[in-house]
């Protein structure tokens, strides 16, 4: 039996890379992660076949906009070796790369953005990291039940009081 999937939330600023960009590209390297906790999660816990919510930060509104799947893990992030890149890390080497990335593939774009404010209103999402104040981790683990709830929420009309 295959192992159970893990679920994630990946943050991106849509002005640099959006769900529309991912839909157009189909697949992309999730480069530029420069936080040790996020890196360790990708390195230790992320597996091919996992699913991830795509989250637009610094957007109006900020929120979850779609789903991607993890295709390949533990790829040395090429931007760390590129002096022209804003993600260049002079302390990293090709022999011992400090930063890794994963490649992800487009799964779906939600019909609507599920705003952060809406996530915070849902009692079912209590404890979901992204709803916590000051939580800036760009790669977050997500409980399966939270992942599925957000996906369901995206299919509902926002202000339909009767569906609660």
Q: Would you tell me which residues interact with DNA (CB under 7 A)?
A: 11, 13, 34-37, 57-59, 62, 116-117, 132-138
Cβ-based nearer residue to DNA, 55 or 147: 55
| Least Å from the CB of residue 81 to DNA | 17
Cβ-based nearer residue to DNA, 98 or 151: 98
Strand order in the sheet with 7-12: 27-29, 100-115, 63-76, 51-56, 7-12, 139-142
Q: Which two tokens stand for residue 19?
A: 């769900």
Cβ-based nearer residue to DNA, 21 or 72: 21
| Least Å from the CB of residue 9 to DNA | 10
| Least Å from the CB of residue 134 to DNA | 2
| Least Å from the CB of residue 150 to DNA | 14
Q: Are 19 and 65 in contact (CB under 8 A)?
A: yes
72 - beta bridge partners?
103
123 CB burial (10 A radius; 0-12, 13-18, 19+): exposed
Cβ-based nearer residue to DNA, 54 or 116: 116
| Least Å from the CB of residue 11 to DNA | 5
Give dist(CA 22, CA 152) in Å, integer. 21
Nearest residue to 49 via CA among 69, 68, 33: 69
Cβ-based nearer residue to DNA, 32 or 76: 32
């Amino acid at each position: 039996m295959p192992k159970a999937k893990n679920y994630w939330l990946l943050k991106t600023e849509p002005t640099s890379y959006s769900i529309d960009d991912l839909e157009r590209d189909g697949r992309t390297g999730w480069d530029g992660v420069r936080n040790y906790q996020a890196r360790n999660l990708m390195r230790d816990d992320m597996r091919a076949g996992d699913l991830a919510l795509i989250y637009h930060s610094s957007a109006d509104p900020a929120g979850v906009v779609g789903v991607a799947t993890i295709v390949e893990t533990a790829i040395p992030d090429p931007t760390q070796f590129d002096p022209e890149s804003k993600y260049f890390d002079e302390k990293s080497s090709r022999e011992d790369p400090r930063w890794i990335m994963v490649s992800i593939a487009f799964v779906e774009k939600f019909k609507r953005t599920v705003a952060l404010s809406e996530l915070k209103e849902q009692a079912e999402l209590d404890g979901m990291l992204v709803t916590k104040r000051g939580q800036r981790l760009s790669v977050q683990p997500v409980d399966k039940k939270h992942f599925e709830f957000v996906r369901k929420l995206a299919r509902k009309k926002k202000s339909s009081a009767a569906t609660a």
